Structure 1
Amino acid sequence: MSLLLFGKILVTLIFLSTGLSKIKSFPEFISTVREFCFINSKTKITSNLILKLLAILVVITEITLSLTLWIPVFYLVSMILIIIMLNFFSIAVMYKLSKQIKINCNCGGFMGKNNISKEIPIRNSILSLILVFILFFTENNKNFHIVDIIFSGISVLIVLFVYKFIQKANSNLKI
């Protein structure tokens, strides 16, 4: 199994599932964007149009980057933008956590819909490190056999479902 293939499938499934989940519950996602955009009373974004445009931009970016990751011409740019996006979200979450503000993450998809926590920047950092490793230590011009793609896809699904199970068990134990 190729680490590059595993990473590309992992990122694709994560970003596609989160993007589609945000579309499914778009009004809720706009509320989350509103909460994250509120820094203080002077910088509060009140325009619903701007909030909707920001929410649409995030969703389109997540879905587009996950798909362009598979187009060789866009591979490098997609990887870099995904890493930047993960770190941007981590910084926003850490800022809100430092202010002890409780917000629904609204990550959606395989990542869940829990309140923000220290887990999110840790998870995003691990994913970013995996992507940096893939970016620097693997070759993108490799042709994959169908068996590799299927095996890597199944492996990624198992990892994501185990993550989801642990996340669910963790939230049930906190009750």
Structure 2
Amino acid sequence: MEGATTARPPAALVPASPALAHAAPPPLRPGNVSARMLLHMMTEQELGGLVVATHDELSAGLAMERGMISRAMPHLVAARLVTVVRRGRFQLHRMIAAFNDPRKQQRAVKALPRDMRLDVGDFEDEYERRFQFHLDEKARKAEARAKGNVAPINKPTRLKRVH
């Protein structure tokens, strides 16, 4: 068609890093919960990529249910874009984290082992493998709970008596 223009995604949906654009598996495509959550976390991060927010705070900031946040987080973790440090603390991958000096980001990215970079290897296959592992582990734990398989503590303790 003559004179037709190519539609461009809104600026908010364009990945902030070329590595992210190169390595966006289907669950992180713009428009879905994982992508929205990642972009929101990128706006809430401290320098270096630390995000201090509970699932409730993330859900309030995104105007969605907390359960949606809980279901989307494993996708970001499997994609290695987010690491759960502990409850209420998340670390963004160094390649997409904010730094106040480009040299600091370059040093942080350079310090990454090659297999941790987002622009090396087959990102999508690795994502699929890690997410499947998450699902398998979740199913295994659910099955153990359903069977009541809790490891019994039947060994006597070897504590010494204190007189």
Between Structure 1 and Structure 2, the one with more strand by share is: 2
Q: Given the two structures, how large is their TM-score scaled by the length of structure 2?
A: 0.34
* Larger Rg, first or second structure (1 or 2): 2
Bigger relative contact order, structure 1 or 2, given CA contacts below 8 A and separation 6+?
1
Q: More helix per residue: 1 or 2?
A: 1
